[in-house]
Amino acid sequence: RFVTMALHALGHLPFTEPFPHLRLHGLLIKDGFKMSKSRGNVVNPDEYVSLYGADNLRMYLLFCGPWEEGGDFSDKGMVGMERFTSRVWSLVTGNHQPGAGGVDLRMIDRTIKKVQESIVRLKFNIAISGLMELTRWAAREKPSMSAEEWQRTARTVVLILAPFAPYLAEELWSRLGGDYSVHFQVWPSYDERALYEDTFNLVVQINGKVRDVRTAPTGIGQVEAEKIALASEKVNRYLNGRRPRGIIYIADKLINLLV
């Protein structure tokens, strides 16, 4: 940056910054303090690679906090990440007995979009969180999936995993019978139509306090949301015969009854 600014000051460059955006990574905290040699809390990455593997260390560093803020490094967190990657291994390599099929696969499309957008915004912790959600969903739905549904699910999990755990993803891709290297594959695409939710969880509040959560059709207006809220036994118990004197409605999110 100094060289660019100096050349600009001398009239050799029309701009002052060498790049359009500057994003600095955050600092790692260990035992409540910033890592430093004077405190003796510096972590030797080679030791953790030997204990947990490079993929687990890489994923934990990306997951332990926002990229631009840093996070708190802990051995407990490393153990948790190792458990997660072990679950991914068992999920993908485990035997699959084809089920009846007909599983709603929209979770795959939503996760691809979430991870893709999070990577672009350097929100790696959110991307990995989305991968974890997809893995839990896949483990739950695996027995019901047909062979084709499971193949798409497993391949998507591995493709999304590849930027964060390259060695593990490469081995899993090979075991799935994938062509060449996972890192030369096209990033999975998602169907925009699959992102639309037919229903949503309507949070019902009374004077700002959550009293119930109801399932409601997406896109309803305030009148319909009020009817759904007032049909709740929990809500009526708190209202105790009183009628709302005001209503605050946030579309497809919540309704707050003021009494």
Report which of residues 82 and 196 the model is more confident about: 82
**Assigned token pair, 49:** 């690679």
Q: Which letter does DSSP use for residue 200 in this model?
A: E
The domains found in the chain, sorted by start residue, are 22-196 (1.10.730.10), 199-258 (3.10.20.590)
Q: How does pLDDT run across 104-131, given as a tens digit for each residue? A: 899 999 999 999 999 999 999 999 999 9
Q: How does pLDDT run across 129-149, given as a tens digit for each residue? A: 999 999 999 999 999 999 999
* Confidence (pLDDT) at 19: 86
**Assigned token pair, 78:** 């490393």
Within the chain, what is the greatest distance between any pair of CA atoms? 77
Report which of residues 191 and 129 the model is more confident about: 129
Could you tell me the CA-to-CA distances from 150 to 62, 87, 130, 224 in Å, in that order? Answer: 28, 16, 18, 39
Q: How confident is the model at residue 90 (pLDDT cuts 50, 70, 90)?
A: very high
Decide: pTM greater than 0.85: no
* E strand or H helix that includes residue 125: helix 124-141
Give the C-alpha separation, 94 to 153, whole Å.
13
CB 173 within 8 Å of CB 223: no
Percentage, residues of the chain above pLDDT 70: 100
